[in-house]
Amino acid sequence: MRERNLKRLIRKGLLAMTVCWCGSAGAWFEDYEPPVVVSDPYIELHTGPGRGYPVFYVAGQGDKIVILKRRTSWFKVRVPRDKEGWVHIEQMRHTLDLQGKPVDFGEVGMAQYVKRRWEMGMTGGALDGAATISG
């Protein structure tokens, strides 16, 4: 009986923390979709975040695209015809903001990983009848 109550308490705690943490941070990011303008003659949209994925659409010079998310050196974008695809950072570096200035996408690599100031993690579960939670 005690073990079942502990499991229930752990599940409720994890759910509450997830809703509080992800709900507030995730909602802010979902609403933030910065637009940029294509300055090269074209950029290629891939079906996935990698060079192995085929190109399915080409956005032309002057098209306004919206950045949806970033995965390492790939950006998921939406083009004017509501098509969504992935663009490599090298092509994104040739875009402009709405004021006509180049966009700085920064670098994400080992140097940024090593310089991080803090890290957070959490886990919970049951193994052979023993409930566990750690943070």
Exposure string for 32-67, b = 16+ CB within 10 A, e = fewer: eeeebbbeeeebebbeebeeeeeeeeebeeebebeb
Judgement on whether residues 61 and 102 belong to the same structural domain of the protein: yes
**Mapping DSSP to helix (H, G, I), strand (E, B) and coil, where does residue 124 land?**
strand
Are 23 and 37 members of one domain?
no
The per-residue pLDDT for 6 is 64
Q: How many domains does the chain have?
A: 2
Residue 84 sits in the same domain as residue 54: yes
Please give the mean pLDDT across all residues of the chain. 80
Is the domain of 14 the same as that of 63? no
Together in a domain, 80 and 19: no
64 and 92 both lie in a single domain: yes
* Domain coverage including residue 18: 1-27
Q: Does the pTM exceed 0.85?
A: no
Confidence of residue 31 (pLDDT cuts 50, 70, 90): low
Q: Are residues 42 and 86 in the same domain?
A: yes
The band of 25, judged by pLDDT with boundaries at 50, 70 and 90, is very low
The mean pLDDT value for 123-130 works out to 79
State the CB neighbour count (10 A cutoff) for residue 95: 24
